[in-house]
Structure 1
Amino acid sequence: MPQGTETESRKLLGRLREALAEDSAGQARLDRVTQLVADSMQTEVCSIYLFRDSETLELCATEGLKPEAVHQTRMRVGEGLVGRIAKVGRPINAANAPAEHGFRYMPETGEEIYSSLLGVPIQRLGERLGVLVVQSKDERQYSEDEVYALEVVAMVLAEMTELGAFVGEGAALAARHQDPVMFRATVAQEGTAEGRVWLHDPRVVVTNPIADDPEGEHKRLHEAVDQLRLSVDDMLSNHDFADGEQRGVLEAYRMFANSRSWMRRMEEDIARGLSAEAAVEKEQSAARARLQAVPDAYLRERLQDLDDLSNRLLRILTGQGNQTGAEMPDNPILIARNIGPGDLLDYGRKLKGVVLEQGSVGSHAAIVARALAIPLVVHAERITTEALNGDQIIVDGEQGVVHLRPEESVAKAFRDKIAMQAQAQERYAGLRDQPAEALCGTRVSLLMNAGLMADLPSLEGSGAEGVGLFRTELQFLTRNKVPRRGDLAALYQRVIRAAKGRPVTFRTLDIGSDKVLPYMKREDEPNPALGWRAIRLGLDKPGIMRMQLQALIRAADGGPLNVMFPFIAQFDEFREARGRLLEEIERERKLGHPLPSKLQIGAMLETPSLAFAPRQFFELADFISIGGNDLKQFFFAADRENERVRRRYDTLNVSFLALIEHVVERCAETGTPVSFCGEDAGRPIEAMCFAAMGLRSLSMRPASIGPVKHLIRRVDLKEARRVIHEARDSGAQSVRPAIMDWMGRTGWAV
């Protein structure tokens, strides 16, 4: 292609469109593409390498290399120059390729006579599909126009691959979006579900990557961009901002929407023969590639803004998306890269489950999913590119596995598992009004965790004796500004009344880490789980804490009130927080407002340091709740977001149980009530062992109360404690094997 002029580029794309429109098999189409590109760019070789699996590239078509090498030559990602292009997602332009570092000679291809190489990635919105390569005998540096032209061809190949253009008899590729796929993910909310895929942000499919009328495409692009800019201006004028942070985000949005360089690049793409949609997506793919390589968090967020704007622009151009009236399937399971708490609450209990590519076990979405009692798994990589609306899907929130388009044998086994769980729940329903009393006469109080008013009906159905943890952050996370004190007081009062006399323990605002308020400046911390969060943030932001404490006092309306402060690491933090609550009590007294008839002030023990606090702490606290999720990760120095280590350490490890026993003993010395709250409290074996170690109160999700009560009522906790101590004395690392063996021998197996 002489200097890759715009006319020649459009000619090549026009010839490509004709070839791709021919009624031929997938392999024949790929072969024709390599011939056209080699001819147009005046190179001896054009080759297409495509992914066979996530780590292996295969030579799928070539003009110039030995034909017998097709479908025989394979390489790993990162191997050779082609493998390096696939790994880094950027072109390589080498005048003397054999002299390049990492060059790998493939003798079966006959490429030894070629010196120069230009290769570009075939990728679509961050999804790697393969590599497009041209080679020449002469040592030559390919021009910028030639690099650009090859990138445009690669982009068209990616779009046509998405549309299935290379599938069929003798095909180079298997049909996409048809085969069963299994994803391993991280459990953020336990549970199981089967249903149909509902994409929160469905992928836009560009069906017309090549266009003949550049003027018409320029006009379509400008009209769409004008509409995009107006929508961003509307967001800025119609939002009520609590502070300048959110306005700053939307101002950055507007800056990108008005970017001349962004517009110029898309206009150049159209001039070379792409449609308006393809031009937008080409620049979006380039932004995605840069996004993955940028270490700076601020720049990553700005590139994310550009990515989101590109999605909006594509939807304007194509009219595609959920807003076009697509109908949600029965038993929908939501699939998304990530999702905010407000969006998830909008879906509500219609959803059977949620699967996210990103997210975290402590994220906003996880909190809402727990409140809605629907299974949630996170870190399911690439599921948004693989799933289509309406696909059958199974979510195993116990094992962290997702089956997309499962084989019938897998689906049948899963349905059998769900049926068994349903039968078990029916058995547990008969225990609803029975106490969790062990054979030895020990009684354990089982409470439920909550975060929404919608959770409260579960008090009756589950048999919970009260709410051991009401998370108050959801009302802050789902709004664009700080909620008003009166609104919070009204909500807390409805919670207390819905409990119908049962105790409710309110945990004050637990934000920070990955729970960041939308109207609060985000702190870029290297390890946010150990950073400025929960009580630390509350003590540093006294206005928010004071407002929430006032709302809680007024919600009690003269009745009892239980308040718990989260993430206390040392005695002084609790003493200061308690003092602020008592100050608000005194202020309310002076205002003539009713005061709580009984005020209980407690702390969450989530750091090992607090287990060794001075005796005065245990004397001053009215109650203590062991926050098992955080305590476990800090005790073992194992990030619960990291799949490589989160399952490495057993909750029934003798050291962890020794810490629990130590806390129980210290509380017994001062007569301080102590409970355990967290995921492990809802696992029957773990719950039984906690009770055996002296805990007499456990707080869990409502669905776990039946199974836990069922087991406790069938065992002798004194015997269980003896087995635990014997296992510990024997030098065992975990008491689980001994406990399971004992339960099997005595006929108490779950």
Structure 2
Amino acid sequence: MFKGIGASSGIAIGKAFVLEKEILNIQRNTIENLENEKGKLQKALALSKQQVEAIQNKSDEEQKNILNAHLMILEDPELISNVEEKITSEKLNVEAALEDVLNMLASIFESMEDEYMKERAADIRDVGERLMMNLFGKEMLNLAELEEAVIIVAHDITPSDTAQMDKEKVIGFITDIGGRTSHSAIMARSMEIPAIVGLGSITENVKTGDFLIFDGSEGIVMVNPNQSMIAEYEARKEKEMAEKKELRKLVNSDTISRDGRRVELGANIGNPKDAKKSNENGAEGIGLYRTEFLYMDRTSLPTEEEQFQAYKEVLEIMGERPVVIRTLDIGGDKELPYMNLPREMNPFLGYRAIRICLEEKDIFKTQLRALLRASIYGNLKIMYPMISSLEEIRQANEVLEEVKRDLEKDNIGYSSHIEVGIMIEIPAAAIISDMLAKEVDFFSIGTNDLIQYTTAVDRMNEKISYLYNPFNPAVLRLINMVIKNGHEAGIWVGMCGEVAGDPRLIPILLGMGLDEFSMSAGSILPARKQIQGLSYEEMKEIADKVLEMATADTIEKFITQYV
């Protein structure tokens, strides 16, 4: 039995197919004919684009979006110029120059905290592998050509691999490396394929043809199990399928506790296609639309019209349901090369999010104009990120009012019923939330950063990552304070961090009086079922008890035992 990180829930039972990729021997040579090396690069780029476009033509919408990012990388002038510059300045062969540049770019993204940005590193490495194979004249493995249903066993699963997967043929996959936020894990959840990552050396312990059973929730893999074990897991899989079928019945139901407390379950999205998926999973709104992804994978700022079309599409998809759109949140772990933001010793505490928007007002105004123009197509709510003071809210609102006046002068319409709120993700904002609540229409608690800032823990640092704990009493007390202060001021309070979809914490948050929970689309129906089975009054008592507890361990054990 092997233990890894459960990345995508579900039980997989079947034969193993070990994905073995050719290891290329990249040598470093001094070259005299530099133009010849640059010519090889251009040929490899052109061939790679043809291959990606061919895969894209056979892909669904989800997979096409992955491959669009690959085409952007292949056309990225910065990547191409960096490789050509290395060839010229170091008289280096194209293979070695490309390897250096790809490693440099990928390592930048891998060091970032945001899961979407980590995904970009996987894209870069994947495109790099394709380019390198083409430079060597080798063929890439095609998972679309599998002849029978198998469980893929690999060191890692690349975006290209997932884009070619046939769900009828790939019944699950397990990998040596990766975490819950790695590209392979995100895609597995998106495709609803069971997956386990971070198994260490599973590729060394499994061979093609071995019979496997694994549970994507528990992270457990069994190799060549006995017949009784197979029978047990087949029964569990049947039960799981029946439960999923039952969950689908909740798509159009309201989220109301046993004793009548109604809350809203929203989805966190990064683009319009995510909004469609959230609809399919019964979302009652969009609790967080991360607009920064409109600004990434490109060489210049998005225009007002580009932004308007993206916002309009999401608002139209959601109809009358609320759509909370967060204004630009870059900096920290999200860099935009074309903006030339300063390098900082501590970017998470530096020049980012609302701080950039209030300094670069032209960028902010362009986004606000696009948002206001789109507002007539749905139920828009605007949210400012990274707020730490009252002054920032007032300054942002002044810019918003200025943009409204400009639109009125141009006879451009916008909705008169737009709520404006803020993310509470900095302890300073939580502590003065009673004062901030008087200036806004809603709060949305961003637990990912709130936990990090409250506990002074860099969760990317493996030595101290165990301290990054949502059960920390200080974190829970801050959350409770924000909800209480928001309600006393007559505004609603939501949550858009990972904690909102955590089944261990949902009971506590319900008891604290949280009004809106925003999470990944796949978590919505399980959360709805859980809340429908809880009593709000009982959870209030549970929350009160939890707030008196002194350690994270005590709280977690209490919740596990009593809820």
TM-score (norm 2): 0.73
Amino acid at match of 1:255: E
Higher Rg: 1
Q: Cα 1:248–1:316, aligned 2, differ >3 Å: closer, same or farther?
A: closer
Write the distance in 1 (CA, Å) between the matches of 2:254 and 2:319.
18
Write the distance in 1 (CA, Å) between the matches of 2:301 and 2:161.
20
Q: Are residues 1:253 and 2:83 paired?
A: yes
Q: Cα 1:287–1:652, aligned 2, differ >3 Å: closer, same or farther?
A: closer
Q: Cα 1:689–1:546, aligned 2, differ >3 Å: closer, same or farther?
A: same
Cα offset for 1:232? 7.9
Q: Cα 1:473–1:376, aligned 2, differ >3 Å: closer, same or farther?
A: farther
Q: Cα 1:364–1:610, aligned 2, differ >3 Å: closer, same or farther?
A: farther
- Which residue is 1:553 aligned to? 372
- Which residue is 1:661 aligned to? 480
Amino acid at match of 1:717: Y
- Which residue is 2:389 aligned to? 570
- Which residue is 1:320 aligned to? 139
Cα offset for 1:369? 7.6
Cα offset for 1:606? 1.0
Contact 2:316 2:378 in 1 (8 A): no
Q: Are residues 1:489 and 2:308 paired?
A: yes
Write the distance in 1 (CA, Å) between the matches of 2:524 and 2:470.
19
Contact 1:444 1:696 in 2 (8 A): yes
Amino acid at match of 1:466: G
Amino acid at match of 2:404: I
Query: Residue by residue, what CA displacement relative to the aligned partner does 1:331-371 show, whole Å, maximum 9, x if unpaired?
Result: 8969687978xx79966997988988888877888888877
Q: Cα 1:481–1:428, aligned 2, differ >3 Å: closer, same or farther?
A: same
Q: Cα 1:424–1:652, aligned 2, differ >3 Å: closer, same or farther?
A: farther
Q: Are residues 1:508 and 2:327 paired?
A: yes
1:539 is aligned, of 349, 352, 358, to: 358
Q: Are residues 1:736 and 2:556 paired?
A: yes
Stretch moving more, 246-255 or 443-452: 246-255
Unaligned residue ranges in structure 2 (runs of 5+): 48-71, 112-123
Q: Are residues 1:699 and 2:511 paired?
A: no
Query: Residue by residue, what CA displacement relative to the aligned partner does 1:657-699 show, whole Å, maximum 9, x if unpaired?
Result: 2211111111122112111122221122311110101112111
Q: Cα 1:443–1:466, aligned 2, differ >3 Å: closer, same or farther?
A: same
Cα offset for 1:618? 1.2
Q: Cα 1:254–1:382, aligned 2, differ >3 Å: closer, same or farther?
A: farther
- Which residue is 1:724 aligned to? 543
Write the distance in 2 (CA, Å) between the matches of 1:721 and 1:536.
37
Q: Cα 1:713–1:284, aligned 2, differ >3 Å: closer, same or farther?
A: closer
Query: Residue by residue, what CA displacement relative to the aligned partner does 1:291-323 show, whole Å, maximum 9, x if unpaired?
Result: 999xxx9xxxxxxx999989845643342325x
Contact 1:233 1:254 in 2 (8 A): no
Cα offset for 1:591? 0.6
Cα offset for 1:442? 1.8
Write the distance in 1 (CA, Å) between the matches of 2:88 and 2:213.
43
Query: Residue by residue, what CA displacement relative to the aligned partner does 1:62-85 show, whole Å, maximum 9, x if unpaired?
Result: xxxxxxxxxxxxxxxxxxxxxxxx
Contact 1:558 1:597 in 2 (8 A): no
Q: Cα 1:387–1:232, aligned 2, differ >3 Å: closer, same or farther?
A: farther
Matched residue SS, 1:567: coil
Cα offset for 1:714? 2.1
Write the distance in 1 (CA, Å) between the matches of 2:103 and 2:303.
42
- Which residue is 2:54 aligned to? none
Contact 1:479 1:518 in 2 (8 A): no
Contact 2:315 2:379 in 1 (8 A): no
Contact 1:546 1:580 in 2 (8 A): yes
Contact 2:10 2:240 in 1 (8 A): no
Q: Cα 1:445–1:285, aligned 2, differ >3 Å: closer, same or farther?
A: closer
- Which residue is 2:421 aligned to? 602
Cα offset for 1:461? 3.4
Query: Residue by residue, what CA displacement relative to the aligned partner does 1:709-749 show, whole Å, maximum 9, x if unpaired?
Result: 22222222222222333354465643333333334xxxxxx
Write the distance in 1 (CA, Å) between the matches of 2:319 and 2:103.
55
Q: Cα 1:448–1:284, aligned 2, differ >3 Å: closer, same or farther?
A: closer
Contact 1:358 1:379 in 2 (8 A): yes
Higher relative contact order (CA closer than 8 Å, sequence separation 6+): 2
Write the distance in 2 (CA, Å) between the matches of 1:460 and 1:289.
38
Aligned ranges 1:58-207 → 2 under 5 Å: 184=4, 191-192=9-10, 194=12, 202-204=21-23
Aligned ranges 1:20-31 → 2 under 5 Å: none
Write the distance in 2 (CA, Å) between the matches of 1:406 and 1:397.
15
Query: Residue by residue, what CA displacement relative to the aligned partner does 1:604-657 show, whole Å, maximum 9, x if unpaired?
Result: 111111112264421111111001222122222233334554444542343322
Contact 1:466 1:502 in 2 (8 A): yes
The CA RMSD over aligned residues, in Å, is 5.1
Matched residue SS, 1:602: strand
Matched residue SS, 1:563: strand
Amino acid at match of 2:437: F
Write the distance in 2 (CA, Å) between the matches of 1:315 and 1:374.
30
- Which residue is 2:60 aligned to? none
Q: Cα 1:740–1:473, aligned 2, differ >3 Å: closer, same or farther?
A: same
Contact 1:204 1:321 in 2 (8 A): no
Write the distance in 1 (CA, Å) between the matches of 2:285 and 2:257.
20
Contact 1:512 1:534 in 2 (8 A): yes
Q: Cα 1:192–1:661, aligned 2, differ >3 Å: closer, same or farther?
A: same
Contact 1:486 1:551 in 2 (8 A): yes
Stretch moving more, 429-438 or 518-527: 518-527
Query: Residue by residue, what CA displacement relative to the aligned partner does 1:491-544 show, whole Å, maximum 9, x if unpaired?
Result: 211111111211111112223333333644475444443333322333333333
Amino acid at match of 2:375: A
Write the distance in 2 (CA, Å) between the matches of 1:696 and 1:246.
43
Contact 2:212 2:225 in 1 (8 A): no
Write the distance in 2 (CA, Å) between the matches of 1:545 and 1:334.
46
Matched residue SS, 1:685: coil
Contact 2:264 2:515 in 1 (8 A): yes
- Which residue is 2:40 aligned to? 228
1:711 is aligned, of 522, 530, 534, to: 530
Contact 1:246 1:519 in 2 (8 A): no
Contact 2:501 2:523 in 1 (8 A): yes
- Which residue is 1:469 aligned to? 288
Contact 1:675 1:695 in 2 (8 A): yes
Q: Cα 1:332–1:513, aligned 2, differ >3 Å: closer, same or farther?
A: farther
Matched residue SS, 2:423: strand
* Aligned-residue identity in percent: 27
Unaligned residue ranges in structure 1 (runs of 5+): 1-179, 210-216, 236-241, 267-279, 298-304, 744-750
- Which residue is 2:67 aligned to? none
Contact 2:330 2:336 in 1 (8 A): yes
Q: Cα 1:559–1:577, aligned 2, differ >3 Å: closer, same or farther?
A: same
- Which residue is 2:298 aligned to? 479
TM-score (norm 1): 0.56
2:404 is aligned, of 579, 585, 592, to: 585
Q: Are residues 1:637 and 2:456 paired?
A: yes
Write the distance in 2 (CA, Å) between the matches of 1:498 and 1:356.
36
Q: Cα 1:203–1:495, aligned 2, differ >3 Å: closer, same or farther?
A: same
1:427 is aligned, of 246, 270, 277, to: 246
Query: Residue by residue, what CA displacement relative to the aligned partner does 1:275-296 show, whole Å, maximum 9, x if unpaired?
Result: xxxxx79x99999999999xxx
Query: Residue by residue, what CA displacement relative to the aligned partner does 1:244-263 show, whole Å, maximum 9, x if unpaired?
Result: x9645432201333466545
Query: Residue by residue, what CA displacement relative to the aligned partner does 1:467-488 show, whole Å, maximum 9, x if unpaired?
Result: 1112222232243443332122
Write the distance in 1 (CA, Å) between the matches of 2:335 and 2:481.
34
Contact 2:457 2:464 in 1 (8 A): yes
Amino acid at match of 2:273: A
Write the distance in 2 (CA, Å) between the matches of 1:284 and 1:391.
37
Write the distance in 2 (CA, Å) between the matches of 1:393 and 1:606.
43
